[in-house]
Every structure is written in C-alpha cells, then in structure tokens.
Amino acid sequence: AQTVTQSQPEMSVQEAETVTLSCTYDTSESDYYLFWYKQPPSRQMILVIRQEAYKQQNATENRFSVNFQKAAKSFSLKISDSQLGDAAMYFCAYKRETSGSRLTFGEGTQLTVNP
Amino acid sequence: DAGVIQSPRHEVTEMGQEVTLRCKPISGHDYLFWYRQTMMRGLELLIYFNNNVPIDDSGMPEDRFSAKMPNASFSTLKIQPSEPRDSAVYFCASSFRGLGNQPQHFGDGTRLSIL
C-alpha cells in the first residue's frame, strides 16, 4: 500500500520570505501523480499544484513550485514571497495512475505566516 | 461553474439518531468520493463511485455507514445509528474519469458533531 509522510507538523515563515514543506511517499509503482492541497480555516480543500511522475520537469504555479525527486520519493512544496493568505494546512497526496484511484493523503503541515 | 455542493454544512445531533449527508458533484464528473477527516486519522477515503456504481467501499468503518448514488448528480452518506466517535468533517469530492492528473474537486465539507 502507498503511504505519504509529512514530517513537519508545523512550519512558520515571515511574510515575503520563502518556505519549503516536505513530503515523502512510498510506492512500488512507476507511474503515479502527486498533488499538494491547501486547507485554510474555512476548511475548503484547494488544489495548489500537481505533478506527473513521468515528467522530469518540476511543476510551477505562480509562487508555488515543487521539487520532485522520483528516485528519493520526495515531493516538496516551495512557496515563494509568502503571503498572509498562504496560512493554512497543506496536504501532500498520492494517486495511482489507474483511473478512479483514491488519493492517499499525508498527515498535513500547518503553515503560519508571520507579518 | 458550480463546485461540489455539500449539505448541511454543520450537523449536531444526539447519539443514536440517523444522520444523512448530501453531495452534488460537479456536472459531468463521473467519479465521486466520500472522505472523512479527523485529528486522529487525518483524511481517509470511505467509499467512491464511478458512474453511480460503488467501486470501493473498503474504507467504510462499519455497517452503520452506508452510501448511495441514485443518479449522476446526487449522493448520500448515511450513518444509522450515529455514535460520538463519528464526529468528524466529511468531504465529498468529484473528478472527471479519475484519469491521470485530473484533480479531485472537494466540497466545503460537513462538520458532524454527535453528542
């Protein structure tokens, strides 16, 4: 079974600074997908960024980027120029390549942004 | 476009009562997922449907839980009888085909409190 581990229960960053959230996963499959979701206090689950395992290029969405290391099974999220609105719980998630497969979530990292 | 719609947003009831949570997926999406979020267990998949048919209900905790999807635009998750340990936030999510990197879109969740 696949597992996803986020080893940082809490992180904090100063506004306008950069922060990196860690995620590792365990799988025996070669094709899969990885996601970062953000859950603000409103408890919505908002997709931040996605990465296909077959792509070597790291995904980027504006201030959000990932460092995908397939061999190390690592998928970290970098937030640049942090804003107060970035404060939230961040979940790393794994999805098998086959259609209809479930998301397996990590435990989450609570990010605080200090003004 | 309307997102995934869940109702009610909050539910408080006494143990032993029947609870019904409702979900309207995004139009055109053919996969529907029910997740439960608790502090102890994080986000866990309960059941998911493809084209209104339950595919994997291995996450359903026990027989007190049941889910139905009578048509493509509506699903229910029922707990009968409810117990205090069922208190959690229940999310519904939908996706198109569930293939590849198609993300799951989440509703705002139902916060359920069983007294």
Q: What is the pLDDT of residues B75-88, one digit of tens each?
A: 999 999 999 999 99
* Cα separation, A108 vs A89, whole angstroms: 6
CA distance B82 to chain A (A): 23
- Give A53-95 pLDDT, tens digit per residue: 998 899 999 999 999 999 999 999 999 999 999 999 999 999 9
Mean pLDDT of A28-45: 92
pLDDT at A42: 87
Q: Label the pairing between strands B53-56 and B42-50.
A: antiparallel
pLDDT more than 90, % of chain A: 81
Report the DSSP beta bridge partners of residue B113.
B12
* Cα separation, B59 vs B38, whole angstroms: 14
CA distance A6 to chain B (A): 12
Report the DSSP beta bridge partners of residue B40.
none
| Candidate from A44, A100, A107 with C-beta closest to B98 | A100
